[in-house]
Amino acid sequence: MVDAAGPLCVLNFSGHPVTPGVRAAIEDLVVNTVDIYELPRTVDTENLADECLAWFTSVPLDLAQWQEHPPLVMVPALGSAAVALVAVVQGVVGSFPRLLWLTKNPSTAAFDEPHILDLDELRLIARRLRY
């Protein structure tokens, strides 16, 4: 079932290109076609906040697209960069993104197994823990 809004946007900030096989696995996971924007970056941990803001401004989406059709965000492996990037997206959009990452396939040793985590949903679940 393909979404009437069109393909799902995937913003690949991981620094590793998405192969055709990984694209197919992502499409199977989200039950939709995807447009993948490859946004490879090196990570300067000395200027991490500025770098993550620059990553955001390099995305070829306008604010309405961010709001109406939130993309999947494929994060860099470096934890501090991933966290800073999530903070920038949350500040601009007003909600946390759904995250996309790859794990190693035990049978091939390739990083081609996609996973998704809805951080906004996780936030709501975590809020219930406060009460």
Domain boundaries, the chain: 8-128
pTM above the 0.85 mark? no
Give me the pLDDT at residue 127, please: 87
pLDDT the model gives residue 3: 55
How many Cα atoms sit within 13 Å of 98 on the Cβ side? 17
Please tell me whether residue 120 adopts helix, strand or coil conformation.
Answer: helix
Q: What pLDDT sits at residue 45?
A: 66
Q: Quick one: which of 48, 124, 41, 59 has its CA closest to 81?
A: 48
pLDDT at 116: 92
Q: What is the mean pLDDT of residues 65-76?
A: 86
